[in-house]
A = this chain, B = another copy of it.
Amino acid sequence: MKNYLENINKAFESRARLGIMSVLMVEEKVDFNTLKDTLQLTDGNLASHLRALEEAEYLRVEKQFVGRKPQTTYYASPAGREAFKSHLDALEQLILNNRQKD
| A residues whose Cβ falls under 8 Å from a Cβ of B | 1-2, 5, 8, 10, 13-15, 18-19, 22-23, 25-26, 38-40, 84, 88, 91-92, 94-95, 97-99, 101
Contact = CB atoms under 8 A, between A and B. Distances in A.
A101 B26 contact: yes
Given A8-B18, A10-B14, 9 more contacts: A1-B23, A1-B39, A2-B38, A5-B15, A5-B19, A5-B39, A13-B13, A18-B94, A26-B101
Given A1-B38, A2-B39, A2-B40, A97 B22 contact: yes
A95 B92 contact: yes
A14 B14 CA distance: 8
